[in-house]
Amino acid sequence: MGNWQDNRIVDLFGIELPIIQAPMAGATTPEMVIAASEAGGLGSLPAALLTIEQTKASLDQIRSATSKPINMNFFAHANPAADPVAQMAWRTALAPYYVELGLDPAAPVPAAGRAPFDDNYCGLVESYRPEVVSFHFGLPGPELLERVRQTGAKITASATTVAEARWLAERGVDAIIAMGLEAGGHRGNFLSDDMATQVGTMALVPQIVDAVSVPVIAAGGISDRRGVRAAFVLGASAVQVGTAYLFTPEAKVTAFHREALKSARDDNTAVTNIFTGRPARGIVNRIMREIGPLAKAAPAFPTAGGALAPLRAVTEKESRSDFSNMWAGQAASLAREMSAAELTRYLVEAD
């Protein structure tokens, strides 16, 4: 018998355990999704860093290995207009690092991308029909959203404040992910970009539960059974766990990121905008210390990563984390190494 009483999300998504393996662009593999869904939770495939072809290949692999429900996850941002002045300011801020590594600060850099949900991705949802579709950074426009709804998928999205939760509820989402400030990865904020007023999970979950009638999924800083139980007490109907899944063998993380996760502490992550232009929580490294964690010079999401790419290419070869994002939440040190299937079951096991 598990440690939850509220079956609203379990019933809504058609899953057995109220555990959502968080979509983690770059780190989630099809193997992780399969393991989490097969174990009875909801495996989530993030598309933000995948091309359409890669997304299709991942979905083919997942659908051939499990018939259990899955979640497809998308970013709902709009790509910014080109801003050469901001790009130049950013490159000037990074120029000393180029010089240090013997790179030409004026050489062209690759365009950095995180793909927003669009007609092509919507076509994939229509053909693969995931049981759940989740969005980060708000929602796509009404037409795209309606097309997703017509597939029968349950729709969910991240809220980092009560105002965002109400905004999502007004647009008809089926469930809301209450994403506290402890969470690893990009903040899902979309109505305000003021990081000083973002809310912690303990305060956010019950206030969102009180504000909306749809079920709430707690996310952020939940890496062990105590956190899961606490989220249920606060009124959450399920939890979405990210960082703890980075400790599983199914996660795709660099060796230095894995090492940093193992020695993570409560106080060595920070919210930074320097890797992409949007605030995201990761383990503090050299570039965050020296020009961040929040830098005015970082250009709009998702372009900031472009000028960092050449620096990363050199240093990652030497297993150095100086210029690389190592997303992690504040409860990384509570996570234990185990398989994704074991983790999915462990989180809701009774003591």
Residues of the shown chain interacting with ligand FMN in the complex, contacts defined by CB under 6 A: 22-25, 27, 46, 48, 73, 136, 158, 179, 182-186, 219-222, 240-243, 327-329, 331
Best CA proximity match to 274, nearest among 285, 287, 262, 283: 287
Give 98 or 264: the residue with its C-beta nearer to ligand FMN.
264
For ligand FMN, the closer of residues 98 and 178 by Cβ is 178
Closest CB to ligand FMN among residues 75, 97: 75
Indicate the Cα dihedral angle 245, 78, 169, 13, nearest 10°: -40
Q: Are 43 and 36 in contact (CB under 8 A)?
A: yes
**Residues 305, 114: Cα–Cα separation, whole Å:** 10
Smallest distance from ligand FMN to CB 174, Å: 16
CB of 176 to ligand FMN, least distance (A): 12
Minimum CB distance to ligand FMN, residue 68 (Å): 19
For 18, 159, 216, 264, the CA distances from 225, given in Å and listed in that order, are 12, 23, 18, 19
Instruction: Record the tokens describing residue 257, joined without a space.
Output: 């990121």
Q: Strand 238-241 and strand 19-21: pairing?
A: parallel
Q: Which is nearer to ligand FMN, 91 or 144 (CB)?
A: 144
| Shortest distance, position 332 Cβ to ligand FMN, whole Å | 8
How crowded is the C-beta side of 344, counted as CA atoms within 13 Å? 25
Q: How far is the CB of 101 from ligand FMN (least distance, A)?
A: 25
Of 125 and 179, CB closest to ligand FMN: 179
Q: How far apart are CA 283 and CA 88, in angstroms?
A: 27
Cis preceding-peptide flag for 80 (omega within 30 of 0): no
- Which tokens is 130 given? 């995931």
Q: Toward ligand FMN, which CB reaches closer, 40 or 185? A: 185
Least distance between ligand FMN and beta carbon 85 (Å): 29
- Nearer Cβ to ligand FMN (19/98): 19
| Helix (H) / strand (E) containing 259 | helix 255-262
- Strands 70-75 and 43-46, by their bridges, are parallel
Closest CB 79 distance from ligand FMN, rounded Å: 16
Give the CB-nearest residue to ligand FMN.
Answer: 242
CB atoms within 10 A of CB 313: 13
Number of Cβ within 10 Å of residue 60's Cβ equals 12
Q: How far apart are the first and last CA of the chain?
A: 10
Task: Tell me the C-alpha distance between 131 and 20, whole Å.
Answer: 13
Q: Prior bond to 249 cis, omega within 30?
A: no
What's the token pair of residue 154?
Answer: 């349950």
C-beta closer to ligand FMN: residue 97 or 240: 240
Rank residues 97 and 180 by Cβ distance to ligand FMN and give the closer one.
180
Least distance (Å) between residue 242 CB and ligand FMN: 2
CB of 344 to ligand FMN, least distance (A): 13
Which amino acid is present at 282?
A: G
